[in-house]
Structure 1
Amino acid sequence: MNRLLPVASAAQARRYARDLIRRYPALFRATLCLHVAAALAGLAGPRLLGELVQGVHDGRSLSELDQLAFAIAGFVVVQATLTRSAHLASARLGERVLARLREEFVARVLALPLSTVEAAGSGDLLTRATRDVDALSKCVRFAVPETLIALTTLCLVVGALVLVSPIFAVPLLIGLPIMVVGSRWYLRHAPAGYLRQNAAYSDVTEGLTETVESARTVEALGRQRQRMERTDIDLRRSWRAERYTLHLRTVWWPVIEISYVVPMVLTLLAGGWLYLEGVVTLGALTAAVIYVQQLVDPLDRLVGWLDELEVGAAALARLLGVTAGPVPEVTAAAEPSGNRIEVRGVRFAYEPGREVLHGLDLVLEPGERLAVVGVSGAGKSTLGRLLAGVHQPTAGSVTVGGVPLAALPPERLRAEVALVTQEHHVFIGTIRDNVAMVRPTAQDGEIRAALTAVQALTWVDALPDGLDTVVGAGELSPAQAQQVALARLVIADPHTLVLDEATAMLDPRAARDLERSLAAVVSGRTVVAIAHRLFSAHDADRVAVMADGRIVELGSHDELVAAGGAYAALWDSWQGGARKKARPQGAPFP
């Protein structure tokens, strides 16, 4: 089970939301003023309507009543105009805030260490980048401005009601405790409930992603039923989480309905009795009843959107949590004094208490070719990722030119050491963009030279638009996609390459062609080749033999064969199988 990325605390989410709003102070103040003005304009209507009713009761002249009617119509027009302007201002503010938040989220994701992404898996990150962003988008665009409008209107209507007659505020004191108690109960349980709901959805996404990506393996091993059972378990967990939040809403909403229906009924009953007793006028009673009725709309908005605010808060906490984990300290002034890589006393564990590397010591001289061999599970790939700076050692150090890899900014690290794996990615865009993405300022001459170096320019020029041909995932053959990836390395120009079975997934002919392309990339560079095919070790300057997370032998091919140890046994075993398939002549390291 992959570890989910962290989740920011409620305090962190609130602080970030406040800081985000404060970046647009003028627009925020203008939006708030427009909403207040629209609410004030709306308060004039009930008061004037009460005066109109009182005027009819008192037998005022028709001209006076007409003036009141025109005044009511005028305030309705003013309120409509101000409300439209307020909504437009809210939309502009919301879009700017949302755009900034999305940009910062993308920056946070791209700044994540690769080890963090691998540990979390793609499902959780994908859910945060899609479902949580969508939920927060709805919250910022609609829930926040609507809640702001509701709260502003609510406060002003209550104030207007008190101005009509303080006695009409008494029924509100009966409904207020009901609302407060119900809302506090809901807000106490809702945040954790929505976080569980989103986490459960991440599990569903992760499981489905694994099943789709591993469909061939699942079919080959006949594990379809197991994957279906895994999906069913994840869906049941998600269903239980969503049922819990639905239960919270089905309890809270009726309580809120009661909290503002009770004051309405009491105002009508008590106000009618007070009017009959001569305590209040008919106009005051009319205005008070309308004001109490006006409370229903902002309360409905508050109830409806507060739930969305909780969903949005949970989404924001998950988005902020992407970088809530520990971030390696980067020393900006660190400057390697050479290309020598040293591994000193390195230990590493993916999980606490389950160490996979145990006290490794290794020195790589500039331009050296090192092959790392050993049985599966010996720790070869883990060592390669430590050398490439993908993982950081739990103890000991990995340095380049005397500077720890962890102290280098990511862009500088990739200029020093690059990892080449079996995976290769072709992004949607032109061939030019795909090759130059490591250095967007690269000129066409440099790009063509890089493609020439990896023997790819011929087929690139044969494409309909050459370098401007738009490609994407699956449009190039595996060998061509790997050549594009290697051309990127030529542009990046790192001094050390870590090759983790870069050609293992290709057929033998394509692998041989690609190995010739690799020869141009590795020339003059320090190379660490993690390989199962031992002819790579035969051509290396030195061979490191790993077993159980330790380097058990280190030396040249001839020295280790003569020593008759673990490497000699591997070589003899491999030679027995290699006789059936002769190694191609002239195939370069690795």
Structure 2
Amino acid sequence: MSRAIGMAPPAYDPAAPRTATTLPVAGPATVRGYVRELLRRHRRAFTVLVVVNTVAVLASMVGPALLGALVDRLASGARELYLPQTVAVFAGALAVQTVFTRMVRLRGAMLGEEMLADLREDFLVRSVKLPPGVLERAGTGDLLSRITTDVDRLSEAMREAVPQLAIGVVWAGLLVGGLAVTAPPLALAVLVAAPLLVAGCRWYFRRAPAAYRSEAAGYAAVASVLAETVDAGRTVEAHRLGARRIALSDRRIKEWTAWERYTLFLRSVLFPVVSFTHMTVLLSVVLVGGVGVLRGWLDVGQLTTGALLAQMLVEPIGLILRWYDELQIAQVSLARLVGVREIEPDSGEEDVRPEGREVRAEEVRFGYRAGADVLHGVSMAVPPGTRVALVGPSGAGKSTLGRLLAGIYGPRAGRVTLGAAELSRMPAERVREHVALVNQEHHVFTGSLRDNLLLARADASEAELWAALEAVGADGWARALAEGLGTGVGSGGLALTPAQAQQTALARLVLADPHTLVLDEATSLLDPRAARHLERSLARVLEGRTVVAIAHRLHTAHDADVIAVVVDGRISELGAHDELVAAGGAYAALWRSWHG
């Protein structure tokens, strides 16, 4: 039908996602269930809003009723019009309407803010409970657009649309009810315009949700391209990819704006239909009412009251359609935010506890994409207290193996166990109690240095915080801060150097106190001398713990108990440093290259 009117939905480039591909978008059933849950949480506030709105609407209907009665008295030739009493009643009703309308706005705003706060909290709580592998795979642009754009779009909907839609429905229902009581024929006349309104809304709402979803996905694609380009700015410049990235950004923006124009076209059809419906309602009421008066079915006062009530219907119907349209946009954002609720924990998760500390991989196969394995039948055992180094060329699968051993990913085939318990069948919280992963990525949270450390263990004392900083060689610069542990860091605070940020992350690791650690280039941002010093400090702190270290700096391998050489997703060599050097294989070649 959109083609017949003159505009078809824009066609996406095959490479452009119509929906988010990393995190799911919730289905209608999930969205409806979440909305019902929100309303149940706030049913008392919602009920108060409806009651207050009912009083305000009933008060607004007093004026048309009084005017109708006055017209009746004039038409009948009555000499006593009771004008002072009529004016007093009208003034009282107007005062009640004013007070309760203000209460409606206040209650509606409060309800909207409370529901929005719940939504934000639910999204955050659910997001941090997602399986680690899901979060690691999540696209930066997708997550960013959900947390920012989708929440912003929902802000107005939660603050205004939900309360206003409830107000509009109650308002329209009471006016139609009042019209049916005052002049039943006029209530039927109002329904003459219903088929036109229903047809227009049906046409619009059959197209709007999909169009708004595509618009939101288009914006997510734009955000993803921009975020990736900014994050990899130096790489883009080094490889002269600027023109290619700009072309990709332009294409994504063009696709997004095409959907923007299409949704604007949909609204440009709906709004004239609504305006024409309003005119049809008034015309039908006047015509039917006039005929009714001429035939004696109605008196002039009923026609006056009915015409005023019909005129008053314009505002609530417009309110309903306006905010229902906003809800179509908001529903897409809500579906994207609530979509994380559809990511269920692995059905194989069990409340199992490891019976020991040995980490073992048995014929492990894993790939990020179907049909493209990164690891091919890897097997290895890491006894408690052993320091293992994973070495090998870039892209060989070292980091992937480390993530499997840390329980971030589950293998496609084979088993990764801790104390004979499969990591993939343990809840993420249980895995983190025993195994921790520290990689070259780090984050300094906005707040004090103390707050950043307490993330690892909320009940840690001041002495334990300083001991953790001392263990990683960070106590010197930390004590030099003006406010010590109370110094604000992160966005808006003191900007820590990459080395200081990494030391902070490692201090959190010391406080978390896991018995098994996977270090993936954990000291990569430090210069070789500082890295060597930090590793020696950590060696003292981590004595007796199981450590799996992934590094290109082979001095780490030299100090390890066991070295696993990973080549093309397989362990090609396994043994101590001296044994592998004497064997003259791949590790020996790497060692000779490292030492020039």
What TM-score do you get using the length of structure 1 for normalisation? Answer: 0.93
Q: How far apart are the structure 2 equivalents of 1:350 and 1:333? A: 27
For 1:505, the equivalent position in structure 2 comes to: 525
1:314 aligns with 2:332: yes
1:548 aligns with 2:565: no
Give, as a single letter, the amino acid of the residue that structure 2 aligns with 1:302.
Answer: I
1:455 aligns with 2:473: yes
Paired residues, number: 576
For 2:248, the equivalent position in structure 1 comes to: 230
Q: 1:292 aligns with which of 310, 315, 331?
A: 310
For 2:497, the equivalent position in structure 1 comes to: 477
Q: How far apart are the structure 1 equivalents of 2:62 and 2:541? A: 78
Q: How far apart are the structure 2 equivalents of 1:310 and 1:61? A: 55
Question: SS of 2:375's equivalent?
Answer: strand
TM-aligned CA deviation for residue 22 of structure 1: 0.8
TM-aligned CA deviation for residue 571 of structure 1: 2.9
Give, as a single letter, the amino acid of the residue that structure 2 aligns with 1:85.
Answer: M
1:106 aligns with 2:124: yes
TM-aligned CA deviation for residue 570 of structure 1: 2.8
Q: 2:98 aligns with which of 64, 80, 87?
A: 80
TM-aligned CA deviation for residue 536 of structure 1: 2.2
Q: How far apart are the structure 1 equivalents of 2:372 and 2:54? A: 60
Q: 2:448 aligns with which of 427, 430, 438?
A: 430
Contact 1:52 1:69 in 2 (8 A): no
TM-aligned CA deviation for residue 482 of structure 1: 1.4
Q: How far apart are the structure 1 equivalents of 2:86 and 2:486? A: 71
1:369 aligns with 2:387: yes
Q: How does 1:393-432 map to 2 (within 5 A)?
A: 393-432=411-450
Give, as a single letter, the amino acid of the residue that structure 2 aligns with 1:532.
Answer: H
Question: SS of 2:202's equivalent?
Answer: helix
Q: How far apart are the structure 2 equivalents of 1:514 and 1:195? A: 49
Q: How far apart are the structure 2 equivalents of 1:505 and 1:451? A: 17
Deviations along 1:378-430, one digit per CA (max 9) or x if unpaired, are 11110011111111112222111122223333333223111121122221222
TM-aligned CA deviation for residue 441 of structure 1: 0.7
Contact 2:154 2:330 in 1 (8 A): yes
For 1:587, the equivalent position in structure 2 comes to: none
Contact 2:73 2:81 in 1 (8 A): no
Q: 1:280 aligns with which of 298, 301, 312?
A: 298
TM-aligned CA deviation for residue 114 of structure 1: 3.0
TM-aligned CA deviation for residue 331 of structure 1: 5.2
Contact 1:479 1:514 in 2 (8 A): no
Contact 1:112 1:323 in 2 (8 A): no
Give, as a single letter, the amino acid of the residue that structure 1 aligns with 2:506.
Answer: L
1:205 aligns with 2:205: no
Q: How far apart are the structure 2 equivalents of 1:25 and 1:269? A: 43
Contact 1:479 1:510 in 2 (8 A): no
Contact 2:183 2:303 in 1 (8 A): no
Contact 1:190 1:248 in 2 (8 A): yes
Question: SS of 2:514's equivalent?
Answer: coil
Question: SS of 2:518's equivalent?
Answer: strand
Contact 1:341 1:398 in 2 (8 A): yes
Q: Which moved more, 1:403-412 or 1:282-291?
A: 403-412
Contact 2:365 2:374 in 1 (8 A): yes
For 1:563, the equivalent position in structure 2 comes to: 583
Contact 2:355 2:420 in 1 (8 A): yes
TM-aligned CA deviation for residue 361 of structure 1: 1.1
For 2:152, the equivalent position in structure 1 comes to: 134
Contact 1:500 1:529 in 2 (8 A): yes
Q: How far apart are the structure 2 equivalents of 1:212 and 1:17? A: 37
Q: How far apart are the structure 2 equivalents of 1:455 and 1:536? A: 18
Question: SS of 1:53's equivalent?
Answer: helix
For 2:55, the equivalent position in structure 1 comes to: 37
TM-aligned CA deviation for residue 512 of structure 1: 3.1
1:59 aligns with 2:73: no
Question: SS of 1:95's equivalent?
Answer: helix
Deviations along 1:228-259, one digit per CA (max 9) or x if unpaired, are 11211111111012112112111111112212
Amino-acid identity (%):
49
1:527 aligns with 2:555: no
Q: How far apart are the structure 1 equivalents of 2:328 and 2:309? A: 29
Q: How far apart are the structure 2 equivalents of 1:252 and 1:310? A: 13
Contact 2:192 2:284 in 1 (8 A): no
Q: How far apart are the structure 1 equivalents of 2:541 and 2:280? A: 79
Give, as a single letter, the amino acid of the residue that structure 1 aligns with 2:71.
Answer: V
Q: How far apart are the structure 2 equivalents of 1:273 and 1:315? A: 50
TM-aligned CA deviation for residue 330 of structure 1: 7.3
For 1:582, the equivalent position in structure 2 comes to: none
Q: What is the aligned-residue RMSD (CA, Å)?
A: 1.9
Contact 1:344 1:396 in 2 (8 A): yes
TM-aligned CA deviation for residue 350 of structure 1: 0.7
For 1:153, the equivalent position in structure 2 comes to: 171
Question: SS of 1:553's equivalent?
Answer: strand
TM-aligned CA deviation for residue 105 of structure 1: 0.9
1:180 aligns with 2:198: yes
1:248 aligns with 2:263: no
Q: How does 1:347-358 map to 2 (within 5 A)?
A: 347-358=365-376
Q: How far apart are the structure 1 equivalents of 2:177 and 2:100? A: 20
Question: SS of 1:90's equivalent?
Answer: helix
What TM-score do you get using the length of structure 2 for normalisation? Answer: 0.92
Q: How far apart are the structure 2 equivalents of 1:326 and 1:366? A: 32
Q: How far apart are the structure 2 equivalents of 1:566 and 1:362? A: 18
TM-aligned CA deviation for residue 63 of structure 1: 5.4
Deviations along 1:117-170, one digit per CA (max 9) or x if unpaired, are 232211111111111112222111101111111111111111211222222123
For 1:14, the equivalent position in structure 2 comes to: 32
Contact 2:24 2:336 in 1 (8 A): yes
Q: Which runs of 5+ in 1 are unaligned?
A: 580-590
Give, as a single letter, the amino acid of the residue that structure 2 aligns with 1:151.
Answer: V
Q: Which runs of 5+ in 2 are unaligned?
A: 1-14
Q: How far apart are the structure 2 equivalents of 1:570 and 1:449? A: 37
Q: How far apart are the structure 1 equivalents of 2:208 and 2:101? A: 31
Give, as a single letter, the amino acid of the residue that structure 2 aligns with 1:481.
Answer: A
Contact 1:454 1:520 in 2 (8 A): no
TM-aligned CA deviation for residue 180 of structure 1: 0.9
Q: Which moved more, 1:111-120 or 1:223-232?
A: 111-120
Give, as a single letter, the amino acid of the residue that structure 1 aligns with 2:396.
Answer: A
Question: SS of 1:125's equivalent?
Answer: helix
TM-aligned CA deviation for residue 51 of structure 1: 0.7
Question: SS of 1:308's equivalent?
Answer: helix
TM-aligned CA deviation for residue 274 of structure 1: 3.5
Contact 1:435 1:487 in 2 (8 A): yes
TM-aligned CA deviation for residue 283 of structure 1: 0.8
Q: How far apart are the structure 1 equivalents of 2:475 and 2:583? A: 45
TM-aligned CA deviation for residue 17 of structure 1: 0.3
Q: Which moved more, 1:467-476 or 1:370-379?
A: 467-476
Contact 2:388 2:562 in 1 (8 A): yes
Contact 2:499 2:526 in 1 (8 A): yes
